């Protein structure tokens, strides 16, 4: 390329959170470069290392020497996939932002399909896997997350979510303004725009290692969705409280009537202990959930950081 092309700003920014992916980064960058350059598109790749425990950062520094449009960022600690993406959004310069995983299950060769679709005027185009190469457990977990998205964010049932997507710069800039320490890109995206469409893409099998999305992480994601983006637990507790109060009132009226009509012998202590244990347990659950909300409100108002950068090479 001549000097004028080198100085031109990229039109497409690819943001990829990296975690323990030393085995895939070389092939991933090579295939991305091939896709964009073969289509004559100006691009940049932004790799955000989420405190990997392997040699991912060293591999990224080696790749930086070979790719002109590569930006690499090292986070201070593990902040999570969504926080790493938010970090990457702060360094994009393209008109469109592409997000994808680092495990090669999102084929870079499918990107032109999404670019073609977003040129029709959409704000977001999401790659919908034709056949998901996931375990039964992960497919079930995805079903739970999909259900929560429909209930909390009013996601259309026909819309399929994934981390393989292309967004306009306007959408990513708006996502950056939401300073929650518990970001959820798909939910924030649905809150900003409904001009979203799917395009079918291939989902490859994992070449190396195992998925880092454990049951604990998926459970934590579901918990964050319910607590941070809805008042569903409080509503459930309200219904439980009303139900328990109604039952207690009916029981009280029954025993008063029985006392007046036929009399009642002295009650045993067993029923008293059982009722006290039940109501005390219920109170503890209510207090715990309210405490969780209060703790997260404190994190929000105290401006807890979404990410902290240890090192970056972005020139």
Mean of the pLDDT values across residues 58-63? 96
Identify the three-state secondary structure at position 16: strand
Higher pLDDT, 203 or 301: 203
Q: What's phi and psi for 197, nearest 5 deg? A: -145, 155
Q: 86-145: per-residue pLDDT in tens?
A: 999 999 999 999 999 999 999 999 999 999 999 999 999 999 987 665 555 566 667 787
User: Structure tokens of 12?
Assistant: 């497409």
Helix ranges (H only) for 185-231 are: 185-192, 215-228
pTM: 0.78
- What DSSP character marks residue 10? P
Contacts by 59-62 with C-beta closer than 8 Å and gap 24+?
59/22, 59/25, 59/26, 60/18, 60/25, 61/313
Mean pLDDT of all residues belonging to the chain: 84
User: CB–CB of 34/116 below 8 Å?
Assistant: no
> What was the pLDDT predicted at 1?
40
Architecture of domain 10-229+307-313: Alpha-Beta Complex (3.90)
> pLDDT tier at 201 (50, 70, 90 boundaries)?
very high
Domains of the chain by residue range: 10-229+307-313, 232-301
> What was the pLDDT predicted at 18?
96
Percent of the chain with pLDDT over 70: 80
């Amino acid at each position: 390329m001549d000097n004028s092309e080198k100085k031109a700003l990229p039109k497409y920014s690819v943001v990829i959170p990296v975690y323990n992916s030393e085995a895939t980064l070389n092939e991933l960058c090579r295939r991305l470069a091939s896709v964009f350059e073969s289509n004559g598109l100006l691009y940049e790749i932004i790799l955000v290392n989420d405190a990997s425990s392997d040699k991912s950062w060293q591999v990224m520094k080696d790749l930086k020497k070979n790719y002109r449009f590569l930006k690499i960022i090292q986070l201070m600690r593990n902040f999570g996939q969504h926080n790493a993406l938010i970090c990457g959004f702060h360094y994009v310069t393209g008109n469109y932002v592409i997000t994808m995983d680092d495990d090669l299950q999102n084929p870079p060769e499918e990107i032109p399909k999404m670019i073609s679709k977003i040129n029709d005027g959409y704000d977001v185009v999401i790659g919908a896997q034709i056949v998901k190469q996931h375990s039964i457990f992960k497919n079930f977990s995805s079903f739970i997350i999909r259900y929560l998205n429909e209930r909390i964010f009013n996601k259309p049932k026909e819309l399929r979510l994934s981390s393989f997507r292309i967004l306009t710069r306007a959408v990513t800039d708006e996502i950056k303004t939401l300073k929650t320490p518990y970001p959820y890109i798909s939910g924030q995206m649905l809150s900003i725009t409904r001009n979203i469409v799917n395009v079918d893409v291939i989902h490859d099998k994992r070449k190396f290692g195992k998925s880092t999305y454990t049951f604990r992480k998926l459970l934590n994601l579901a918990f964050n969705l319910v607590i941070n983006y809805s008042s569903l637990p409080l509503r459930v507790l309200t219904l439980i409280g009303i139900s328990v109060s109604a039952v207690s009132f009916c029981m009280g009226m029954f025993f008063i009537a029985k006392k007046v009509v036929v009399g009642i012998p002295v009650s045993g202590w067993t029923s008293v202990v059982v009722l006290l244990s039940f109501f005390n347990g219920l109170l503890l659950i209510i207090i715990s959930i309210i405490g969780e909300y209060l703790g997260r409100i404190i994190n929000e108002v105290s401006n807890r950081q979404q990410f902290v950068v240890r090192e970056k090479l972005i020139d």
